[in-house]
Amino acid sequence: MSKRGPFIVIEGLDRSGKSTQTALLLARFEASGIPAKLLKFPDRTTAIGQMIDSYLKSTSELDDRAIHLLFSANRWELVSTIEQLLAVGTAVICDRYAFSGIAFSASKGISYEWCRAPDVGLPAPDLSLFLDISPEAAKTRGGYGEERYEKEEMQRRVGEVFRRIGKEIDGGGREDGRWVNIDAGKEKEVVEGEVWALVEPLARGVEGPLRRLWTDKLTI
């Protein structure tokens, strides 16, 4: 049976270096001659993504649960693209995914289980890497921008939820893939090396079907 492409997710706090590291990871794939595609969530190019964009820029207001469901819908609308890429052996690298969905909305006080529910059944990454950085260190990297969540206290809460998610995935067997925390306070090149060391064993393809996130958490 031919292998499918690996599904890699990079998560992190704002200013943790996600965009840099996902771009460097894509370059590694390309240099190795392995087909790969970089996706970014939220994908602001779709109709749903444009609503998210104006919410993040505070040009529109939305109920916390309504925006949560839009973020989730924005992932669901890309599922067939992800599945098709993986099926033809292309690696998919995602800059943020469902874990951001839980982390940011639960940090506003919405229940963790409620936040997780709309993303149950999404394709499960084979490997999720969390770029961990303290909000203080993140702030020194040019400071937070103008967007809604880029505030120190919010980022602290978001980090706590991310660590909870990571523990649950680590402790929950292989169904939701593997989760690794990476110290993103280190030099860019060091982080890149650590990321590639974890990704390389999967880079040339993965055996077995794509799994689904948290299917044990909801009975339909």
Choose, by CB under 6 A, the member of 34, 69, 137, 149 that binds ligand DGP.
149
> Closest separation between CB of residue 100 and ligand DGP, Å?
4
State which of positions 90-119 bind ligand DGP (CB under 6 A). 96, 100-101, 104-105
Distance CA 162, CA 167 (A): 9
- d(CA 150, CA 205) in angstroms, rounded, equals 36
Residues that bind ligand DGP (rule: CB under 6 A) add up to a total of: 13
Distance CA 158, CA 42 (A): 16
Minimum CB separation of residue 74 from ligand DGP in Å reads 8
Beta bridge partners of 193: none
Closer of 32 and 81 to ligand DGP (Cβ): 81
Query: Interface residues for ligand DGP in 38-57 (CB under 6 A)?
Result: 41-42, 56
- Of the pair 14, 194, the CB lying nearest ligand DGP is at 14
Q: Which of 83, 67, 165 is nearest to 116 (CA)?
A: 165
Peptide bond into 42 cis (omega under 30): yes
∠ CA 9-198-113, nearest 5°, is: 35
Smallest gap from residue 104 Cβ to ligand DGP (A): 3
Report the amino acid identity of residue 212.
Answer: R
Q: What is the 3-state secondary structure (H, E, C) of 142-172?
A: CCCCCCCCCCHHHHHHHHHHHHHHHHHHHHC
Tokens linked to 49: 């993504």
Beta carbon nearer to ligand DGP, 122 or 127: 122
Residue placing its CB nearer to ligand DGP in the complex, 34 or 120: 120
Residues 68-87 contacting ligand DGP, CB under 6 A? 68, 71
* Secondary structure letter of residue 123 according to DSSP: B
Among 14, 126, 176, 192, binds ligand DGP (CB under 6 A): 14
Query: Which residue number, 147 or 183, has a Cβ lying nearer to ligand DGP?
Result: 147
CB-CB neighbours of 104 under 10 Å: 25
Is residue 29 near ligand DGP by the rule CB under 6 A? no
Residues engaged in binding ligand DGP (CB under 6 A):
14, 41-42, 56, 68, 71, 96, 100-101, 104-105, 147, 149
